[in-house]
Amino acid sequence: MQIEDTMLVDFLTGALTGTAIVEGARDLASLKGIFGDEEALAALDPSRLVYRVQAFQPVDEGTEGGLFWGSTVLEPGLVGDEYFMTQGHFHAKRNRGEYYSTVAGFGALILMDEARNVRVEWMRPGSTHYIPGYTAHRVANIGDQQLSFLACWPSDAGHDYRTIALHGFSARLLCIEGQPKLVPQP
């Protein structure tokens, strides 16, 4: 029997290797407007890496019925009191859900429904999170090591970053006296 490798997951680091993998990286400069404390952001090196993303896309983006598989490695850090985090998005096709599964590190999955109600699920190695449709999702690294997680989502979900860029989430996860605290935004 011939075994054809198309993609390998390193379950220690979350890294993907193989074919059909799309890669991206986000530095602080590319996340301008996402963090609350603009002054604190301006004092940091804009080229500092915040996270890297890999996506295994065996079918074209937009294909109905297909699935993508992704890996995100989020660095530890703070912008003022706010943990390093992903930009966050709704899916462009709002009813599309997703799974996240934590490989390494500690984090918070911040979820916001269309009525702007926010809740948090805590991430630790092995924790697996079902993100329902109609729910914006963003991850913050609350630990002092890299936070690595895997994701699986429909290939026709698409990403709506604009709504978050315009209106943000209705709460921010801040480090207050060393502890993560969800703070509602005016």
Q: Of 11-19, 44-52, 79-87, 94-102, which segment contacts Zn ion by CB under 5 A? A: 94-102
C-alpha 186/C-alpha 52 separation (Å) is: 31
Q: Please report how many Cα atoms fall inside a 13 Å half-sphere around the Cα of residue 116, on the Cβ side.
A: 11
Strands ordered across the beta sheet of 118-123? 118-123, 107-113, 135-141
Our finding on whether 70 is near ligand PAN (CB under 6 A) is yes
54 binds, among Zn ion, ligand PAN, none (CB under 5 to 8 A by kind): none
**Which DSSP symbol is given to 52?**
E
Mode of pairing for the β-strands spanning 21-27 and 49-56: antiparallel
Our finding on whether 72 is near ligand PAN (CB under 6 A) is yes
How many residues lie near ligand PAN (CB under 6 A)?
13
How many residues lie near Zn ion (CB under 5 A)?
1
Contact status, residue 125 vs residue 104, Cβ threshold 8 Å: yes
Nearer of residues 48 and 167 to Zn ion, judged by Cβ: 167
Interaction with ligand PAN in 88-117: which residues (CB under 6 A)?
Answer: 88-89, 98
Closest separation in Å from C-beta 137 to Zn ion: 6
Nearer of residues 176 and 185 to ligand PAN, judged by Cβ: 185
Q: Is 157 helix (H, G, I), strand (E, B) or coil?
A: coil
Which residues sit opposite 131 in a β-bridge?
Answer: 98
State the binding string over 127-146 for ligand PAN (x if CB under 6 A, else -): ----------x---------
For the record, the structure tokens of 119 come out as: 């809740």
Contacts with Zn ion, residue ranges (CB under 5 A): 98
Residues that bind ligand PAN (CB under 6 A): 53, 70, 72, 86-89, 98, 137, 151, 153, 157, 159
